[in-house]
Structure 1
Amino acid sequence: MPVGVFSCVHCVKMDYDVQEGTIPRDFIEYDFAEDALDFENQLAEARDVKFTQTLNEQLSIGAHIVCTGTPSEDLPWFTVNIGVGDPEGRGDISVHFNVRLPQQYVVRNTRRHDKWGLEETTAFRLFPFKMDRPFTIEVLVEEKETLWAVDGEHYCSFSHRNPSPLAATWVQVAGVRNATLQIGKTSEYPTLAAPPVEVPLRPSVDAPPESLEINCWRPNVIATLSNGVPEGHQIVIHGRLRPLLHSFAIDLMDYAREWPFPNILMHANVRAHVESQKDRQLVVFNAWLGAWGPERRQRTARLVPGSKCTFKIIRGGDEWSVYADDVLIGELEYRAAPAGVKAIRVRGDFYPDDIYLCPATSSPIREQISS
């Protein structure tokens, strides 16, 4: 290859014979204004395609809304609204759940006195909606927030604002032609969730999976520990960190469920987005026993986004010890009897490939914890 001439194997060769300062003929003939007008017409049509159900009584804790439908190509977004006032005018919207398929994210917001609040877009899983594929959305009304699940998997939560959905008088779906709504009460959420898997017990940390084990681990998984975590044992979690690492949590809980909220006997939360310019990520330890207790915060994790990683949670004599790739990143003293742990939840930007329980061996500590 001549000096100074480079070829990138990842670059896509264009079909156009484009030279600097010229525009391909196909682009010149393309009417962007017409395309933008088509999109605006689609938005207007989506707003006109709506189904509203008036509430006979106000929503209360445990209220359960189920919405089904199928997104179509000619409607670029759809919305589930919970509101008060005139649903056909400019009534207040307590919760606005706006699915934007072209952009592949969901906006949550509140409208009061004809003014929108701050948008929320973060979620616990990847965008789950696709064109021409039926969906089922479950909405659970809780004391301080609404919980939203898509096809049986928890997707996001939205804290109550003003007006609260507890004062709502109607529920509306817009942008879906075959939408259905069912409103009732539930004692569990999500009702469509698959039964939780059981964390297998292996004889050692290096033991291969048994033939009867089924590899069904997925992001945001909840799994049962029927026999708990015996003293001197550890939970091992192999997985992959998301390339755009934001945060994730590993919870040891007393029940394998989303709601009613279980007690969390050990909560380890890695927050890579906090002062991300630093060479170590922040780790927050806590427990939820009806309410959060005092946090233990330390900058001890040194994780590489996009890489494989192994976490070990060891039940010791007086505390839970958490290791990342055999480096101790923190400990949390027992705030409830450790025998009460019956489930584990992995949520956020750490995607598990394998989870199992085994006897604990001496895990090396290559670095001391520093605050």
Structure 2
Amino acid sequence: MAFINTQTPYMFPAVPFTGKIRGGLKEGLEIKIKGTINSSADNIIVNFQTGSGGNDVAFHFNPRFEEGGYVVCNTRQQGQWGPEERTMKMPFKKGMLFELCFLVQESDFEVTVDRKFFLQYSHRVPYDLVDTIAVSGSLKLSIITFQNTSVGRCSETFQFRRTSNWCKPQSPGIQSAHQAQAPMDQTVNTVHSAPGQMFPTHGIQPVRYPTSHLAPFIALIPSGLYPSKSIIISGMVLPDATRFHINLRAGTDIAFHLNPRFDEQAVVRNTQINESWGPEERSLPGEMPFSRGQNFTVWILCESHCFKVAVNGQHLFEYAHRLMNLAAINNLEVAGDIQLTHVQP
């Protein structure tokens, strides 16, 4: 089961935020919100509504920190609220990071907080009327993403361990993570969809890997790259990290190799064609943008002449294409000292 990119995420939007949902809500659409609750929070509001006015709200999700904390759900039609549904639990903590996920199902919204099921809210109005998401309250947003999947719960966390040789890529016969074999006590969480395709999805399976190296996380990029195509990778750098890498592959070639190295305080970029590396690029406009033990989001935007790379919402560098057949670049590979929370190929 594969995720399909439906629209470009909203990165670090200011609160209050109102944004369009391209194509409206559909069954199987998963909307994920990540951010931080303010230390002095009183309430949070997420509305799935028709238009920006707020008179027609199909789903009003409203955690309130008063009286020990509870969550109000409701629907508003033509400016009139219906009966409240209250859940007397508070899944959020003040001052803490959170991951809030809404999955549109045939009969209801399924809500997951920090990858744990929280509640279901039955549709009171047709969900396909919704074309806007609005977020307000005592929080800071880092990203809002949209993914299509036919069924299931929100994405789990992926754990990656370090490889033994960071600059040397896999052999031409690269092995998908779900094909690797290893002793029973050595596992890494990854996923598989259709045969031979790897996607970040809800069907997490423990996967074996050889003791000498970690088979990387591999995701197919449907239809390959093209100008305006975005790839987003979010996660956390492990506290004892040495290096990790992100590769955009075209067959056995690596069109773009992004390799943060904490032992060198450098972000190395390169291309490998016919098993030969080109000249490295290392220059940065400022300090190393990745830190051990810290969350990160890498946004790679493919343009006609280059890749533009932003880290944590800040433009970092451009990398001119050395392999010009963009459509042939159809695999994403990630490995190293990181824990992934979101991958959008």
Which structure shows the bigger proportion of residues in helix conformation?
Answer: 1
Instruction: Give me the TM-score of the superposition, normalised by structure 2.
Output: 0.39
Which structure shows the bigger proportion of residues in strand conformation?
Answer: 2
Larger Rg: 1
Instruction: Give me the TM-score of the superposition, normalised by structure 1.
Output: 0.36
